[in-house]
Amino acid sequence: MTTNRIANKTALITGATSGFGKATAHALAQMNVNLILLGRRSERLQELQQTLSNLHPKLHLRTLALDIKKYDGVKTELEAIMAKTPIDILINNAGLASGLSSIVDGDLDDWEQMIDTNLKGLLYVSRTILPQMKQRNQGHVINIGSMAGNTTYPNGNVYCATKAAVHTLGQAMNIDLTGTGIRVCTLAPGAANTEFSEVRFHGDKLKADKVYQGFQPLLAEDIAEMIVYVLNAPAHVNIQKVDMMPTAQRTPYHLHQEID
């Protein structure tokens, strides 16, 4: 990458304490992007801030422990930040899968958590930040979707539905922002080895590890690298959708695993 078009800009990342969010924070810091990092786990946020501050002492770094499922808190906290620091880049990364069961056996708490985080949380953050981007006529939004938003898989019902909604909202954002300088991309990863499956299986690491046996899955750093690529495109280029899977996987149903 010969040209750095995002240096000295400010990016806000939701779900920054692990997985794609944490890797993206590191990748953007290397591009001299100032960071506002959101997450629910304050201890992890503090650790990440300390690590990044040591590696990149000249960057402006801020962390905020925030539950994006609560609109009042999102609006109050983010508007206070934007009054002092305009946000150039929004990475709507916070999301999760909780449970893996049929609709007739589904756990309502799992459903509520996925809908509130993956869909409503994304909307709350975007609704708060986009007006300022529109006023400034500049900005870049990346929504983290999923291949599950393209193709529904067995027992993925509500999770797949929330990610399909994320994809639809990405299209809607692009339509609504026609005529502005704001660009919107939906990035849809396939199988990626993060804490995703461990969260889905409620902390059962053995079950989670089996998901990634017998092939090389995507890593969080792979997603972060793609995010940097998309953000660094020239201003006249809007990469609206990226489907990204490990070479061993071609659809959610076509995955080559070499298991003894």
The values of phi and psi at residue 37, to 5°, are -110, 125
Q: Give the distance between the most distant pair of CA atoms in the chain.
A: 58
Q: Which of 175, 199, 197 is nearest to 186 (CA)?
A: 175
Angle at CA of residue 193, ends 192 and 196, nearest 5°: 85
User: Does 159 qualify as catalytic in the annotation?
Assistant: yes
Locate 216 and state its tokens: 């090389």
| Spatial distance between the Cα atoms of 230 and 241, rounded to a whole number of angstroms | 10
- The answer to whether 139 and 90 are in contact (CB under 8 A) is yes
Which of 159, 212, 229, 253 does the annotation list as catalytic?
A: 159
242-253 b/e (C-beta count within 10 Å ≥ 16 → b) = beebbebbeebe
SS3 242: strand
Locate 39 and state its tokens: 């997450």
SS3 37: strand
Catalytic residues: 159
